[in-house]
A and B are shown apart, each in its own frame.
Chain A
Amino acid sequence: MLLDALTLQLGYNATLVAIGAALLGTAAGITGTFLFLRKRALVSDAVSHATLPGVCIAFLLMALAGGDGRNLAGLLLGSAVSAGIGLWCMNWLTRNTRLAEDAAIGAVLSVFFGFGIVLLTVIQTLGVGRQAGLEGFLLGSTAGMLYSDALVIAAGGAVTLLLVLLTRRPMTLVAFDPEYAAARGLPVDRIDLLMMGLVMAVTVVGLKIVGLILIVALLIIPAVTARFWSERSDRVVLLAGLFGGIAAYIGAALSASAPNLPTGPIIVLVSFALFALSLLLAPNRGVLAAMLRHMRFQRRVHLRQGLLALAQGQAIYESLTLRLLRRAGLLRADGVATAKGRARAAKALRDERRWEVVRGDVTQEAAAALYDGLRDIETVLTVDQIQEIDRRIDGPREVLS
């Protein structure tokens, strides 16, 4: 059943949902990365919650006008207007009062969402035209998705991606160094506004599939996941798009493969699974890699300390140090250094002296920066450079009384 879903064999509606979700996931991942890099991730949560009153009011207006209250384009238009008002309120609060951004986010989020819930209840008690499905905007519902709905989502996602492509450089510059960006004449405020506009577009487009409560996850989790895998912002952006698309596709397929599985929450869980895997397994920033690095580092420190102690005839008390030295064949079982051990120890001591010379020399700054008291000097300097250093160490010195 799941395999059928993943290969788009589950029928027309499931296929529509899976493709729409993948597009939305990609757009959200890419847009969300800029938000994450600008450190304004939570703003998107307020924006998404601020959509609810707009959805309800649009429904009421369309129903009162005698049309179908559930027209998706109409509902999305309403949600965009009210999200825009929410965004404006947040900007106004942070700029014109002493409230910090987090306080403004909290205020806008709760007030707009509360108002939306009141409207939702009113609609239900009024019994205006076929209101069923409006709650679907809270957590996403894909059961009755139409071809026209999918088209709206696809078009919205595509426009968003195009805009990101056009503005990725200014947005990156503003996220990294807003002061420098302003000094170069970039309109920082307008670029921030555009970024928020893009987030709003993704939110509005994603309401139907993921729902307003969880859309923030689609914007932020892929970006955070991608950050584990690269130190370059352009790659983080692309990877976030990829992760977002994959998570949304798999999530949509999963939810279609069994009855009554909610699409939005499943997508978020798949997204989280990718995050957890990255957290554990990423090569540089991952937890396992960090643990391994720490263990390896600890061993190198112990071995080096042991060698220097041997060279200077000091006693070694650390059992790990002794174990490592014995295992490397540098120390006999009775605690006496082997010939190899003595040679390595002498070399370690000599490297220390050489490093001292390198670190005292301004012209060797790049090499000196690599000094950690652990690595062999040959891995940093050429044979010629080392010979030059040795001449300086062994050369004629001042005679001390």
Chain B
Amino acid sequence: MSLDAANSLIENRVVAGLDQDAKIAQSPLAVRGLTVSYGEKPAVFSVDMTVEPGQMTAIIGPNGAGKSTLLKAALGIVAPISGRVTIFGRPLAEQRARIAYVPQRASVDWDFPTRVIDVVLMGLYRELGLLGRIKGNHRARALDCLSRVGMADFATRQIGQLSGGQQQRVFLARALAQGADLYLLDEPFAGVDAATEKAIISVLKSLRAAGKTVVVVHHDLATVAEYFDNVFLINTRRVAEGPVAEAFSEESLQVAYGGRLAATQIDQLARG
């Protein structure tokens, strides 16, 4: 390769880098070169992701593909081996207040002595500080968030008395109470009833309408096209990323799921 050719290559890269920087600065959640490993087997390997602002994005992929891990690493819950995470172009530590997270239901002890409203009040944790008293307006806001997910009637129940779907909605209400700009949900539709799925999706759509960004780890391929604007397909590595119409294609599903989906199934899904 001649020196000139090499120079122009480098130049191109630099230009590409600048373009990337602009994208990263605008993105509510941008990940570059992220690798996370449990033991010595990477669960997520060298992944780049750029979430579009004000839209709903689904992270999809087969079981064990690193969907939840990607989310947890983006939130700093698990420490990555390498990689960089930015939230609205800034480091995660500066932007915590702008992120709301809805963990998987299984992560919690449901016999814990706490009522539905107390769980939602945890969303106001930052505002209350260490010693601030919980006042009437805090309770009113918590109740408002509960009614947005249709759970206001359950405010004083102990959380263990709720069904799985209702517990999931309480988690969503807690995230709403934070008043964040970026919402990250880990499998919110897993094992919930139809009423809950409807309630959750309508809340998420209202968040999008208010200009918020929503990222959901999702497992149900059949509803991807109906619910989401963008998809991020992952199988340890990034497989595809972009608007559903482009990225949710036969080829990328084939790559992400391999033999796990029958060819006819993939065909059907991609045509939507």
Contact = CB atoms under 8 A, between A and B. Distances in A.
| A in complex with B | yes
Interface string A203-233: 0000000000000000000000001001111
Interface string A321-363: 0000000000000000000000000000000000000000010
Contacts of B158: 231
B112 A37 contact: yes
Given A184-B96, A365-B150, A179 B103 contact: yes
A177 B103 contact: yes
B76 A183 contact: yes
Contacts of A369: 163
Given A169-B125, A176-B122, A232 B114 contact: yes
Contacts of A231: 113-115, 158
B107 A236 contact: no
Contacts of A177: 103, 107-108, 122
B77 A183 contact: yes
A219 to B, nearest CB: 17
A166 B131 contact: yes
B113 A179 contact: no
- Which size class do A's interface residues fall under? 20 to 34
B-side interface mostly: mixed
A39 to B, nearest CB: 7
Indicate the size class of the contact surface on chain B: 20 to 34
A33 to B, nearest CB: 9
Contacts of B30: none
A99 interface: no
Interface string A177-193: 11110111100000000
A128 interface: no
A233 B118 contact: yes
A169 B101 CA distance: 18
With a 10 A CB-CB cut-off, give which of B103, B131, B198 has the most chain A CB atoms. B103
Interface string B146-183: 00001001100010000100000000001000000000
29 contacts: A37-B113, A39-B109, A166-B130, A166-B131, A167-B130, A169-B130, A173-B125, A176-B108, A176-B112, A176-B114, A176-B122, A177-B108, A177-B122, A178-B107, A179-B101, A179-B103, A179-B107, A180-B101, A180-B122, A183-B75, A183-B76, A183-B77, A184-B101, A184-B125, A231-B115, A232-B115, A235-B113, A362-B195, A369-B163
Interface of B: 72, 75-77, 93, 96, 99, 101, 103, 107-109, 112-115, 118-119, 122, 125-126, 128, 130-131, 150, 153-154, 158, 163, 174, 184, 195, 198
